[in-house]
Amino acid sequence: MTELHCLTARAAVALLKKGEVTPLDLIDAAEKRIAATDRPLNAMPTLCLGRARDHARRMMAGKAPKGRGAAALHGLPIAVKDLDAVAGVRTTQGSPIYADVVPERSDILVEMLEANGAIVVGKSNTPEFGAGAQTYNQVFGVTGNPWDLSKTCAGSSGGSAAALAAGQVWLATGSDLGGSLRTPASFCGVIGFRPSSGRVPTGPEGMPFGMMSVAGPMARNVGDCALMLDAMVGEVPEDPRSLPRPATSFQAAVAKARPPKRVAFSPDLGFLPIDPEVRRVCAEAARRFEAMGARLDAACPDFSGADAIFQTLRAAGFAMSMAAEYANHRDKLKPEIIWNIEKGQTLSVEAIGRAERERGALFHRVFAFFKTYDLLVTPAAMVPPFDKTIPWVTEVDGRRFDNYVDWLILPGAITLAGCPAISVPCGFTATGLPIGLQIVGPPRAEARVLAAARLFEDATGLADRVPLDPS
């Protein structure tokens, strides 16, 4: 029982299905591992083990669902990012404004996971309102990176990524506007998958038609990621963006993976600064697709103007969605959020309209690109893990940034295109820190991306490097 935390999620679910372990056994294993690793890590600041055990006992008595088919998790413990409501559990959004909030209802994605047999054991740390790819906040403090506790786990799904890498849970939720699933996965040597908008239902939300941020799965390997995505998807009328469940499960797509025929690699999307070590490691890793028999070209879509488009639409979104927090609690917001809201408040209708039109043109260019290429491959982040005392990256390869968003434009540009994208471990820096490769597919081609990611993961043999003891 002491090694249960080392199992893959699929192996743990198989044992649950056979009755060789119980959900209570896995909750005990998670509790033990969290107790052993979280004091220096600070990935899971809020636990709900009593709620989890009550849920497990109802499930074992046949009074709570275990899930059906490929979506069945049979009582597997998971972590939920602290942006997402869990009924009866403190949900802070990393903000002192909501430090004592205990919601009565869970987010739709949590309801979906629990209906498919997941058991929530705790909330993973996140930066305030998920803003900024460095996981620290005034409520719980900073989360470290299990590979090197002096480094950041990135964000905003940093607590989830760190908890997975340390073996605290088998699966975890995340969300992504400008890389918040992909960047922490890259920094922590795990999997973070941003699906197409609507693939994973969320809410209820005050702005249910928003098209930039999505929720998605995080796991230690691609097969486990497919398992979790199967348990997260489905059409929910309360989320007007939500898509029907695919006829073929994502696990089946991964199991039947075939090599892509034509792959494009770009280290910088044609216009971005990239840390030289990241550039080298990702270029070498991309050649794995050639070894699979794919044609690998140096190419990418025309991402002209992506940085300005992303900054404008992000700022407009912050101004709209956080109007009440700004009006009533400005003194409790961190400076970066205030800057983003106020930037949005100064935008004209003309500027926002121009950004939306330019985003549309970018989407069509990317869509046309995928008529030639099966996949686009890039680094998942501009830089490797950096010191956790640094709020945000101010310079990359000689280019200086004057705001906390610019270093996130690489994944942010992919967000604008509406494409599914996954971060998969591809190598390490000279000091042993993980680097992730981003694999991108056309809109709604989650199965294609997952299948390619599994083949790449098999080729690298890096999936068994986690869980690890924080050091």
CA distance 233 to 67: 13
Give the confidence band of 170 by pLDDT, cuts at 50, 70, 90.
very high
434 in Cβ contact with 188 (< 8 Å):
yes
According to the model, what pLDDT value does residue 1 have? 44
Local confidence band at 15 (pLDDT 50, 70, 90 cut-offs):
very high
- What order of strands is seen across the sheet that includes strand 375-379? 46-47, 118-124, 76-81, 171-176, 214-219, 191-194, 421-428, 434-440, 375-379, 262-265, 295-298
Residue 459 CB neighbours (<10 A): 16
- Cα torsion at 109, 224, 387, 426 (round to 10°)? -140
CB 316 within 8 A of CB 352: yes
Q: Is the pLDDT of residue 211 over 80?
A: no
Provide, for the chain, the percentages of residues in helix, strand and coil under a 3-state DSSP scheme, each rounded to the nearest 5. 40, 15, 40
Catalytic residues: 81, 156, 180
The count of domains in the chain is 1
Say if CB 218 and CB 161 are below 8 A apart. Answer: yes
- Asked whether residue 45 carries a pLDDT value surpassing 50, the answer given is yes
Q: Is residue 463 scored above 70 in pLDDT?
A: yes
Element (H, E) at 201: none
Say if 470 falls within a structural domain: no
Verdict on whether the full-model pTM lies above 0.75: yes
In which band, very low, low, confident or very high, does the pLDDT at 106 lie, cut at 50, 70 and 90? very high
pLDDT at residue 261, as a whole number = 98
Q: Please, are residues 158 and 139 in contact by the beta-carbon 8 Å criterion?
A: no
pLDDT at 248 over 80: yes
Q: 318 is written with which tokens?
A: 């912050």
- Please tell me the predicted confidence (pLDDT) of residue 210: 84
Q: Characterize the bridge pairing of strands 395-396 and 399-400.
A: antiparallel
What percentage of the chain exceeds 90 in pLDDT? 99
User: pLDDT digit string (tens) for 413-431?
Assistant: 999 999 999 999 999 999 9
Alpha-carbon gap, residue 351 to 249, rounded angstroms: 41
According to the model, what pLDDT value does residue 291 have? Answer: 97
78 belongs to a structural domain: yes
| 471 found inside a domain | no
- Domain-embedded: residue 205: yes
Backbone angles phi, psi at 47, to 5 degrees: -110, 150
Tell me how crowded residue 318 is: count the other CB atoms within 10 A of its CB. Answer: 24
Mean pLDDT of 387-408: 97
* In-domain check, residue 8: yes
Domain assignment present for residue 350? The answer is yes
Output the average pLDDT for the chain. 97
Percentage above 70 pLDDT, the chain: 100
Structural domain includes residue 59? yes
- Rounded to an integer, the average pLDDT of 346-372 is 98
Beta bridge partners of 295: 262
pLDDT in tens, 266-318: 999 999 999 999 999 999 999 999 999 999 999 999 999 999 999 999 999 99
Tell me what pLDDT residue 2 has: 54
Contact 180, 156 (CB under 8 A): yes
Query: Identity (one letter) of the amino acid at 321?
Result: S
Domain hosting 296: range is: 4-465
- Per the listing, tokens 């494409």 go with 419
Cβ 194 vs Cβ 218: under 8 Å: no
Q: Kindly give the pairing relationship between strand 421-428 and strand 434-440.
A: antiparallel
Question: What's 41's domain CATH number?
Answer: 3.90.1300.10
